Amino acid sequence: MLSRIDWYILKNFLKTFFFSVLLLTLISTIVDISEHTDDFVKSGLTSKQIFLQYYIGFIPHIVALLFPLFVFISVIFFTSKMASRSEFIPVLSSGVSLHRLMRPYWIGGALLSILLLFSNALIIPRANTVRTTFEAKYMPSLMSYTSSNAVYMRIDSFSYVGMRYYDTAAKMGGTFFLETVKENKVIYNLRADNIIWDTTKKTWKLNGVVERKINGLEENVSYKFEAFRKFSFEPNDLRFDGYTQTRMTTPDLIKRIRKERMRGSETIKELEMENAHRMATPFSVMILTMIGALISFRKIRGGSGIHLAIGLLICAVYILFDRFSTIFSTKGDLNPYLAAWIPNFVFAYVAWRIYQKAPK
């Protein structure tokens, strides 16, 4: 059962959090408007169209991006205010332990963690689709589509495909090949001068096709001017940009990871890193909630200002840890899931040490 003081703390926690979200989101939106005013003017859209086609996706994106920071600042702010008014002294003096006092913080942190986990899985990807679609159309400088010089991947248990280059805009690749291997022997080989996606038939068109069917020492060769083939990949599977993984819901992202792992794709780490962050970030909300409460419930000289300064320093260190682990994963050999959880492990230990040293 929650006591009256539990409800009081929990109510202040959530009220301060949602007020912080509203205020900081408003500031972030104003800054974004000032940065992209020229793009909005060039687009020729009305304010209502810009909001419905861009900011309805941008606002959930920025809230999810800064969610742990919002929680941390909220906890420090309202807890520090309570401490400055000496509201914790009679509670602790009445025999309530620090562990018991942390219960409403645990509950509030858990509720917000679940909210972020659900949003990361289903809501934010849809918002990112809206936002990035607008950016691709009216802010092309922000997009980072790449045409790979070479594409090689596995499409099933026995077959491999590759092309010398692939143009994402034209949906065309050059010098295409497909090989089927069985028992370490090539049993089928296909070569084509180029491969083009036929948007009408929803299939691939191959030009200048040479097919070889190999059976031991026998080889059957055929030539075709053009041929239409269905493969297990589509243009979206060959379209690599910095937003691909952020647009997919978590179930779709997991399916894509399995497919890319089977293909031996070079983009597998970026996909795994996105999935790992979606699971690790909600847990960081719990950790930062505990740290914020533990460093703020004591009344000190300097009040909320000192608490906020310490909190911002901790946030900066957390972000630094997160960036370093992400770089070591995407550019090195560090496992993406371990990289996403390293900051949580480190700061969970920090929270435990602060709790141990806190007066009980």
pLDDT band, residue 258 (cuts 50/70/90): confident
Summarised one tens digit per residue, pLDDT across range 7-19 is 999 999 999 999 9
Q: What was the pLDDT predicted at 199?
A: 87
Burial letters for 155-184: b for 16+ Cβ neighbours within 10 Å, e otherwise? beeebbbebeebebeebbbeebbbbbeeee
CA–CA distance, 303 with 83 (Å, rounded to integer): 8
CA 225 to chain centre: 44
Token duo for residue 19: 């007020």
Q: In the predicted model, what is the mean pLDDT of residues 253-275?
A: 83
pLDDT digits (tens, 9 = 90+) for 137-175: 787 655 544 445 678 888 887 888 988 888 776 788 888
Q: What is the pLDDT of residue 143?
A: 54
pLDDT of residue 145: 47
Cα-based distances in Å from 260 to 66, 130, 197, 213, 255: 29, 25, 20, 27, 9
- In tens, the pLDDT along 279-327 reads 999 999 999 999 999 888 877 665 667 777 777 788 788 888 888 888 8
Q: Which DSSP symbol is given to 146?
A: B
Q: Average pLDDT in the 215-222 region?
A: 86
Tell me what the mean pLDDT of segment 47-62 comes to: 92
Sheet of strand 151-154: strand arrangement: 151-154, 159-167, 172-182, 185-198, 203-215, 218-229
Separation of alpha carbons 20 and 309, rounded Å: 17
Query: Could you say which DSSP state residue 149 is in?
Result: S
- Report, as an integer, the average pLDDT of 179-194: 90
3-state DSSP helix/strand/coil percent for the chain, to nearest 5? 60, 20, 20
pLDDT band at 330 (very low <50, low <70, confident <90, very high): confident
Output the pLDDT for position 190.
Answer: 93
State residue 359's pLDDT score.
66
In single-letter form, the type of residue at position 158 comes to F
pLDDT of residue 54: 93
Q: Kindly report which listed range (23-27, 133-137, 220-224, 289-293) carries the lowest average pLDDT score.
A: 133-137
Structure tokens at 311: 């909190």
- Which among 257, 276, 286, 283 is positioned nearest to 340, based on CA atoms? 276
Q: Which residue has the higher pLDDT, 122 or 88?
A: 122
Percentage of residues in the chain having pLDDT higher than 70: 93
**Phi-psi category of 103—alpha, beta or left, where left has phi over 0 and alpha has psi -120 to 50?**
alpha
Residue pair 238/151 in contact (Cβ under 8 Å)? The answer is yes
Amino acid (1-letter code) at residue 21? V
Query: What are the DSSP calls for 196-242, one per residue?
Result: EEETTTTEEEEEEEEEEEEETTEEEEEEEEEEEE--S--GGGG-B-T
Question: How high is the pLDDT of residue 284?
Answer: 92
> In sequence order, what are the residues at sequence separation of 6 or more whose Cβ sits closer than 8 angstroms to the Cβ of residue 20?
70, 73, 74, 77
241 pLDDT exceeds 70? no
Q: Quick one: average pLDDT of 84-98?
A: 81
In this model, does residue 189 exceed pLDDT 50? yes
Contacts of 228 (CB under 8 A, 6+ apart): 198, 201, 203, 204, 205, 206
Average pLDDT, the chain: 86
Mean pLDDT across the stretch 327-346? 87
Residue 68, pLDDT > 70, answer: yes
Residue pair 192/198 in contact (Cβ under 8 Å)? The answer is: no
Q: What type of residue sits at position 295?
A: I
Residues 6+ apart with CB under 8 A from 76: 292, 295, 296, 304, 307, 308, 310, 311
pLDDT of residue 242: 62
Chain CA centroid to CA 88, Å? 38
Domain ranges of the chain: 4-141+268-357, 151-237
* Lowest model confidence (mean pLDDT) among 156-160, 176-180, 243-247, 302-306: 302-306
SS3 148: coil
Q: What is the pLDDT of residue 141?
A: 59
Structure tokens at 118: 């659900």
Mean pLDDT within 211-220: 87
Q: Tell me what pLDDT residue 113 has.
A: 95
Q: Note the pLDDT of residue 288.
A: 92
Cα torsion angle, 225, 231, 237, 238, sign: negative
